[in-house]
């Protein structure tokens, strides 16, 4: 039986490994252990992974409060976490580089970081609240309406 592995690409250990990949003398099994991987051949582990769905670096918390960034190619909006490391767009999801990126992350990172909160509304995924004035006035806005169709 061939085991498949899930590697949390947002894990700090994974990111550190990618940075130091050329200097690594570990074998594959040691690398998998250090990356906190999970064998998907074990049904109990699969169930726990789906049920718990949280990583050691709390990536779910990293993606709870986000900037709302307008898509350049459509009238959609995407979410970028406040650490500027995760985006909700498909380009980020399917990015094949070791450290994922997309044009939204690149764009927001290239701007003045002290002005981010004034330039981009913030969205709290858990509470479903947008910081824009339209939402504050009537509890609905174009950002919230657009994000709802993606399950936010």
The pLDDT value recorded for residue 30 is: 63
Residues 6+ apart with CB under 8 A from 77: 68, 69, 70, 71, 142, 143, 146, 147
Residue 102 has pLDDT above 90, yes or no: yes
**d(C-alpha 143, C-alpha 115), whole Å:** 19
| Range of weakest confidence among 41-55, 97-111, 126-140 | 41-55
Residues 6+ apart with CB under 8 A from 150: 88
Instruction: Kindly indicate the confidence band of residue 4, based on its pLDDT and cuts at 50, 70 and 90.
Output: low
Nearest in space to 111 (alpha carbons), one of 67, 63, 64: 67
The pLDDT value recorded for residue 140 is: 87
Q: How far is CA 125 from CA 4, 27, 61, 67, 152, in A?
A: 31, 40, 10, 11, 6
pTM, full prediction: 0.58
């Amino acid at each position: 039986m061939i085991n498949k592995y899930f590697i949390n690409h947002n894990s700090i250990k994974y990111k550190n490994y990618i940075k130091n990949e050329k200097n690594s003398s570990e074998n594959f099994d040691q690398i998998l252990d250090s990356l906190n991987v999970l064998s998907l051949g074990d049904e109990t582990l699969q169930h726990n992974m789906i049920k718990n769905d949280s990583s050691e670096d709390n990536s779910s918390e990293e993606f709870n409060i986000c900037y709302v960034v307008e898509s350049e190619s459509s009238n959609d909006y995407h979410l970028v976490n406040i650490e500027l490391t995760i985006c909700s767009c498909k380009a980020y999801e399917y990015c094949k580089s070791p450290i994922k990126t997309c044009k939204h992350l690149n764009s927001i990172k290239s701007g003045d970081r002290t002005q981010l909160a004034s330039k981009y509304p913030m969205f709290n995924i858990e509470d479903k609240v947008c910081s824009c004035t339209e939402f504050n006035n009537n509890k609905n806005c174009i950002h919230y309406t657009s994000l709802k169709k993606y399950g936010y």
